[in-house]
Amino acid sequence: MAEPVEVLKPDTKFIADVIKLGGQSAKKCFQCGTCTVTCNVSYAQTHDESFARRLMLWTAWGLKDKALTDPAIWACYQCQDCSANCPRGAKPGDVIGALRALAIERYARPRFLARWFRDPVYLPLILAIPAVIILGLLLAFNVQVPSGPVVYKHFISEIYVEIAGVIVAGLAILATAYGMLRFTLETRLPQPGAVDGPGALAADLPAERELPATMVSTLSDVATHADFRACQTETTRTWGHLITMYGFPLLLIATALSFLYGLVGIDQQSRSLLDPMKIAGNLGGLLAFVGVCLLIYKRFQAKPAKWGVGTYYDWLLLWLIFANVFLGFATQFTRLAGGVNLAYWLYVAHLTVVFATFVYLPYGKLAHLYYRLAALAALRQGSKTGPASVFIVVIAGVAAVLAAAAVLVAVLAAVAWVAQALPMGLLALPESGISLNLYLPVASVSIPFGCWSPLASV
């Protein structure tokens, strides 16, 4: 017994947490390894010879640290190929989904905010905080609903809202950065030949890759969903996710432009429908709406006997995105229809939901967007350059998104210029800053919220 032997200390609270988050089937696993061989996505991607199986074992044994620091939990798209083929009904896809939720919680500070996302009891609280901030601003500065044409900056004074937004956003960014740092330090990098850990790479693959290759591979996979599309069981979900995902950079562009217009003093609410900002905003909103509807439809179609219909935790993100887009469009159309009072209050609701979605980024399921990116990079990169590579890949990823955004803005600007050159009166810029029906109302007030209100910027 010279070799130091690991003493098993099951964390029963961890097991209970996995069970609560939809992993109640975890204990059914009897380690046959069907999940390992049926996974078309993660196994193909990493050639990880004990993927899924080892996570099931660690969960059943209550080995929290091992399970949550394994980057392979992010290699799973929950496409359910494993759950569909599991002879025991252990639903590995659902169990790994629960592990991801717990990993997000593990890195979230303050942690109680992450716990709020587990239980519907806290939903009022989640929504109340942004609502109170916004209503507080209303009470402090202007309780009057202005009369006349709807001009949102007459309703809420932009500079105060902007300050509040930046403070809260700063806190969220701090929490995100802390989470990423902890994640990077703790994540167990793939060790070639290991079975008892992530990334036991197959002999025919290079165990480690050069950093540029890793970046290209990771980002192109995210951009095309190439691995996600290898899934055979839940194909609609792949497309739903892809479409939703592409809505977000467009909304980000709209928000950035809106912020820019604010800085240089352009009145956004009066911009043409063919303004790049408005095209990006409306198109992004539309994509997100279509995508999220597909995802919601797919969840309703799920077969509870075979794999889960999702937990509250999963549903919360879907409904938040749905509410974002829905309220955004509702605000816009209400104003177009002339419902003045309602337009203002819908606007408040929209802002509240947008706030709830993005301020809580490090605490809810949406955090997967950066954890997954980092984990996919780590799994591809191997152990060569250590944790730093993960950071580099993430930063490169953000840079790539911004570069793509810049290119898109240029394209949209060109389109708008061409459109303006055409003799179409309806689309021409108006003389005054007062909007006509065709001028979408939401944009002008979106500036204060900066990135918090991508759709509102339209």
Partner 1 sequence: MAANKVRLYICTGCGIGEALDAAALGAIAAQEYGAQVVTHPHLCGPEGGTLIREEREREGCQRLAIAACSGRVNAEVFTLDQTLVERINLREQVAWCHEPATEETQALATDQVRMGLVKLQKSDFPEPAPAVSQERVLVVGGGIAGLTAALEVANAGREVTLLEREPVLGGWLANFAYISPSTPPYREPQVPPLAEKVRAVQAHPRVQVLLGAEIEKAAGEPGAFAVTYKQNGNSAELGAAAIVLATGWEPYDATKLGHLGYGVSPNVITGVELEAELKNGGARLVNGRAPESVVFVQCAGSRDENHLPYCSSVCCQASLKQALLLRQQFPQANVFILHKDIRTPGQYEEFYKRVQEDPQIFFLRGEVASVAPDGGNLLVSATDTQLGRSVAVQADLVVLATGIVPRAAATLNLDYRQGPDVPSQHYCFADSNFICWPYETQRTGIFAAGCVREPQSVAGCIEDAAGAGLRAAQAVTLIKEGAALHPRVGDLYYPTFFLQRCTQCKRCTEECPFGALDEDAKGTPQLNANRCRRCGVCMGACPERLVSFKNYSIDIITSMIKAIEVPEDEDIQRILVLACENDAYPALDLAGARHSKYSAAVRTISLRCLGSTNVVFIADAVSRGIDGVLLLGCKYGDDYQCHFIKGSELASKRMDNVRETLGRLRVEPERVRLEQVTMDDWDRLPRLLDDFAAELADLGPNPYKGF
For the bound state, the minimum distance from the C-beta of residue 1 to partner 1, rounded and expressed in Å, comes to 6
Residue span 54-73 as binding mask against partner 1, x where in contact by CB under 8 A, dash where not:
x--x--xxx-----------
Q: Tell me if 2 contacts partner 1 by CB under 8 A.
A: no
d(CA 181, CA 95): 25
For the bound state, the minimum distance from the C-beta of residue 69 to partner 1, rounded and expressed in Å, comes to 16
Q: Return the number of the residue (27 or 384) whose C-beta is nearest partner 1.
A: 27
For the bound state, the minimum distance from the C-beta of residue 381 to partner 1, rounded and expressed in Å, comes to 23
Q: Return the number of the residue (57 or 419) whose C-beta is nearest partner 1.
A: 57
Closest CA to 217 of 83, 372, 377, 79: 377
Residue 151, CA distances (Å) to 80, 272, 324, 341, 446 in order: 48, 16, 21, 12, 11
Q: Return the number of the residue (53 or 372) whose C-beta is nearest partner 1.
A: 53
Q: Return the number of the residue (23 or 450) whose C-beta is nearest partner 1.
A: 23
d(CA 376, CA 163): 36
DSSP state of 40: S
Closest CA to 189 of 199, 181, 180, 179: 199
Q: What is the dihedral of CA 18, 182, 72, 33, to 10 degrees?
A: -50
Residues whose CB falls within 8 Å of the CB of residue 322, separated by 6 or more in sequence, listed in order:
289, 292, 293, 296
Q: Tell me if 193 contacts partner 1 by CB under 8 A.
A: no
Residue count, binding to partner 1 (CB under 8 A): 25
Q: Tell me if 28 contacts partner 1 by CB under 8 A.
A: yes
Closest CA to 371 of 222, 199, 200, 208: 222
H helix runs in 235-308, sequence order? 235-264, 276-301
For the bound state, the minimum distance from the C-beta of residue 9 to partner 1, rounded and expressed in Å, comes to 8
Q: Return the number of the residue (96 or 376) whose C-beta is nearest partner 1.
A: 96
Q: Find the binder of partner 1 among 7, 143, 203, 421 (CB under 8 A).
A: 7
For the bound state, the minimum distance from the C-beta of residue 42 to partner 1, rounded and expressed in Å, comes to 17
d(CA 331, CA 440): 10
For the bound state, the minimum distance from the C-beta of residue 43 to partner 1, rounded and expressed in Å, comes to 16
Q: Which stretch binds partner 1 (CB under 8 A): 50-58, 138-146, 380-388, 436-444?
A: 50-58
Q: Tell me if 106 contacts partner 1 by CB under 8 A.
A: no
Contact between residue 153 and residue 440 where contact means Cβ atoms under 8 Å apart = no
Residues forming the site for partner 1 (CB under 8 A)? 1, 3, 5-8, 10, 12, 15-16, 19, 27-28, 30-31, 50, 53-54, 57, 60-62, 88, 195-196
